Amino acid sequence: MDFSIIIPTYNRADELRETIRSIARLDVTADWELLVIDNKSTDHTRAVVEEEAASFPAALRYVYEAEQGRYAAINTGIRAATGTIIATTDDDARVEPDWLTRAAEALEALGCDYVGGKVLPIWKGARPTWLPHRPGPHWSVLALQDHGEKPREFGVNGLPWPLGINTATRREAFERTDLFDNRLGRKAGTLRNQAQREWHLRARAAGLRGFYVPGMVVHHVVEADRLTKHYFRRWYYWHGISRAILFAKLGVDMDAPDSSHYDFSKVPLIAGVPRYMYRTLLTHAKDMVLAWLRGDAVAAFEHELWLCFFAGVAKQRWAERHVMIPSPQVNVS
């Protein structure tokens, strides 16, 4: 098998049906398969997969994974997949017909281990005025990504890592670096969100390289309930928790893990949090107030979100305050 596509899913049967039908329109001449990994759904997910399999143009396989967590499901999918290239997307995505072709061409042309591309929005609600038009940190909350029209290497010159909704990876990359850490990925009741970064930091340490490919396009459904300040605050809080778990595992900077240069076994901690982060906290609090006073609601909310991030960091680090922080286990220079 040349390609395996993995979709983890949890209680989104009707949205999943539309995603499967989008994938059915792929223009692929090679051998390929689609694996839907049911992460303990209680709705009619299995029935949807079985119904769509009857007319699907490739092998469509249903796999059940009882351990909760998006990355538990993806890991199960990787183990079950037979393709030499493993692509991942979500159960609320719509792919362009040339998605796999663009991925395969880029892997070959760039001689790299993985690729990821644009993730553009399908708005299901009005975009709020406090959400900037430009790509930025807020796009991560909505799982959106657009780094322009030229290929660029992930993890270099500040380019963040690909999103799990749009990746294609050579199978041997997982053999070299192992699979994802499910503790750092989303599961029911949480918004944990650092499993991709943790894997890519390990991959970089192992010498693997990946590129952003602008022609590899996925569209992501953005539901109205995500376009609220409450959701953004909650996401950033869990972002802080996730970064604190990453900190305890790899010894990297919670605020800037991709460019970490501290040895945190030697950095002073207060309640488990590096002392310098309290200065950053005060700076964001001050800048939030100043932004409100000058009427810049967008900037004020961005500073507020960092405070939510810090709250998550503080909560997780207090719970693990007696855990020894290792010296950096990955080279992030």
Domain range holding 273?
231-319
In the chain, what are the helix, strand and coil shares in percent, each to the nearest 5? 40, 20, 40
Q: What is the pLDDT of residue 329?
A: 56
Where residue 38 sits, what CATH number does that domain have?
3.90.550.10
Same domain, 36 and 152: yes
Final residue of a structural domain among 173, 203, 227: 227
Q: What is the pLDDT of residue 262?
A: 86
Q: How many domains does the chain have?
A: 2
3-state secondary structure of 185: coil
Look at phi and psi of residue 183 and say left if phi exceeds 0, alpha if psi is from -120 to 50, else beta. alpha
Same domain, 89 and 152: yes
Task: Report the C-alpha gap between 310 and 312 in whole angstroms.
Answer: 5
231 and 193 Cβ atoms separated by less than 8 Å: no
Task: Report the C-alpha gap between 164 and 235 in whole angstroms.
Answer: 17
| Spans of the chain, pLDDT less than 70 | 327-333
Q: What is the pLDDT of residue 133?
A: 76
Same domain, 152 and 27: yes
Q: What are phi and psi of 166, to 5 degrees?
A: -150, 75
Same domain, 220 and 251: no
Q: What is the pLDDT of residue 45?
A: 98
Same domain, 284 and 168: no
Helix axes 13-24, 45-53, angle to 10 degrees: 20
Same domain, 12 and 146: yes
